[in-house]
Structure 1
Amino acid sequence: MINHLGGSVPIELGSLTKLVGLYFGQNNLRGKLLSSLGNFTSLKFLGVASNNIEGDIPDDIARLTQIVDLELSMNNLSCVFPPAIYNLSLEDLSISFNSFFGSLRPDFGNLVPNTRFLYLEGNYFTGAIPKTPPNISNLQVVAMEYNKLIGSIPSSFGKVRNLQLLELYHNSLGSHSSGDHEFLEYLTNCTKLRTLSVAENRLGGGGDLPTSIANLSVNLIHLSLGKTTSLETFLMTLGIS
């Protein structure tokens, strides 16, 4: 609920050590996240999305060993992917539309093993997409659009059997070569996939799409490939021209 609360997060909150849920979303809070948040060792939900929180994420967050839902989206947070978040019990991680930067660790998937919903879009992440997300066995949503990611789209996404949404558009993925579409063949294993969006990248060299695209999930309701091939070629690939 929007209450238009202003000012900074009150330091007195640090004494409420038995809190299980804390939500300050959609207000006008400013300042930094308090290191005293680490005192809430019973906390399972922390939501401060849609405020004006700035700075980095304090290392004390690592003490929140019971937390399953962390929502920090739409603030002014700025740092590399917070090491304090690794190895928590998070199922839902949302840090979208901030100013996080730098590359994700190659072993990223091993460090957030319980995650089901991963929202990293609208930041300044660079480098390649880690090839370890398949180690996150329950992963359902991956949103990494509007970053500065490069390299290929990992074929290992095809091992994420519960994947329902994969949004990677508006990055710099691919090399304008025909091999850029190889990941589509592996995604045919993701039978629950409903949304796939990879437009506005550097995918494809103007050749045909792999015929395996016709074998994508029957549950797919949104497919956005961008200017990777002609409409005629696309329809022929699907066998409907």
Structure 2
Amino acid sequence: MRVGGRRSILIGLGLVMVLGIAVYLRLCNNGFTGSIPSELGNCSHIEYLELSQNSFTGDIPESFGNLLNLRFINLYSNFMKGSIPESLFRIPHLDTVWLDVNELNGSIPLNVANMSEISSLWLYGNQLSSTIPSSIGNCTKLVELYLNDNQFVGNLPESLNNLEGLMYLDVSNNSLEGTIQLGLGSFKQMDTLVLSFNCFSSGIPPGLGNCSSLTQLAAVRCRLTGPIPPSLGQLTQLTLLYLCENRLSGRIPPELGNLKSLNDLQLYDNQLEGEISSELGLLSELQNLFLFTNRLDGEIPISIWKI
């Protein structure tokens, strides 16, 4: 039987408030509709709140700021609208915030800087706009930051350099522009970096070669220009490298032959020129090699045919 409506959830919340001891409230993957009751903010003991995969609409209640014990909130896959309330980002020990796949708009609140304990922030799949606030660089415990599939503009903030523990960063499918910060090379623990489908109109920073833990690097259709830095050959853990559909020029650096773990290399639809380096034939794990629609010439090295 389908569970839905404000009355149903209020009955449940009434029990929570009467008992006064609820720490976990999980109502995910049901058929709840309507707005999330503001009365939920009175359930002061809640630490873990999961309302994902329902059909909630309306704003995120301002009263959530009263849940001072909250550590985890998941509103994934609903129809939430409006802006992210600043009160949510005033909760002192909030560790995980998943607001992805909704219809939220507006900007990321500047007081995101208050989230000193946050390790996972998922905001992808919304209609958020404006710039990514530089104050996000104060969230120094961040491990996962997913801002993809929104409408962000402006530059990647230089303050991202402060997030030395960041492992997953995805800002794809926005309208970001300007220079990709050279400081991205300071991410020693970075595993996945996705920059695709933006408007950077700059070169690939050589400093990315210092991200020694990278396994996936995708920068597709970003209007990237200039050469592929030889320093990318230092990313020996890399399994996927997508730099296709840009304006990259020059030769394919032979240093890419050092990427012994690489199994997917896609450099198609650029302005690369010269001969294909025989060093690419050293990539014994390579399964996909896409170099079409460039200006390459000469002979295809015999070593490539052995891949």
Judged with a 3 Å threshold, the aligned counterparts in structure 2 of structure 1 residues 132 and 57 are, in CA distance, closer, same or farther, namely same
Contact 1:162 1:190 in 2 (8 A): yes
How many aligned residue pairs are there? 207
Provide closer, same or farther for how the CA distance between residues 65 and 213 of structure 1 changes in structure 2, counting only shifts above 3 A: closer
Question: Residue 79 of structure 1: CA displacement?
Answer: 1.2
SS in structure 1 of the partner of residue 230 of structure 2? coil
Does 1:143 find its partner at 2:242? yes
Higher relative contact order (CA 8 A, sep 6+): 1
Q: Secondary structure at the match of 2:112?
A: helix
Larger radius of gyration: 2
CA RMSD of aligned residues (A): 1.6
Q: Contact conserved, 1:52 with 1:75, CA < 8 A, in 2? A: yes
CA distance in 1, matches of 2:133, 2:119: 17
For structure 1, the 5+ residue unaligned runs are 217-241
Structure 1 outlier segments of 4+, above 4 Å: none
| 2:224 aligned counterpart, secondary structure | strand
- Pairing of 1:53-202 with structure 2 (within 5 A): 53-88=152-187, 89-105=189-205, 107-175=206-274, 180-181=275-276, 183=277, 185-202=278-295
Contact conserved, 2:182 with 2:208, CA < 8 A, in 1?
A: no
Change (3 A) 1:201 1:209: same
Gap runs ≥5 in structure 2: 1-76, 78-100
**Alignment partner of 1:211 is 2:302:** yes
Q: Which moved more, 1:186-195 or 1:27-36?
A: 186-195
Distance 1:55 1:130 in 2: 24
The question of whether the paired residues in 2 share the 8 Å contact of 1:132 and 1:156 is answered with: yes
Matched, 1:5 2:104: yes
Deviations 1:29-82 (A, max 9, x none): 011111111121111000000000000111211111111111100101101111
Letter in 1 for 2:162: R
Where 2:136 maps in the other structure, the secondary structure is: helix
Q: Is 1:109–1:135's contact at 8 Å kept on the other side of the alignment?
A: no
User: How far does residue 210 in structure 1 lie from its aligned partner after superposition?
Assistant: 3.1
Percentage of pairs with the same residue: 27
In structure 1, C-alpha distance between the alignment counterparts of 2:181 and 2:301, rounded to whole Å: 38
Name the CA distance, whole Å, in 2 between partners of 1:99 and 1:26. Answer: 19
> What residue is the counterpart of 1:235 in the other structure?
none
TM-score scaled to structure 1, two decimals?
0.81
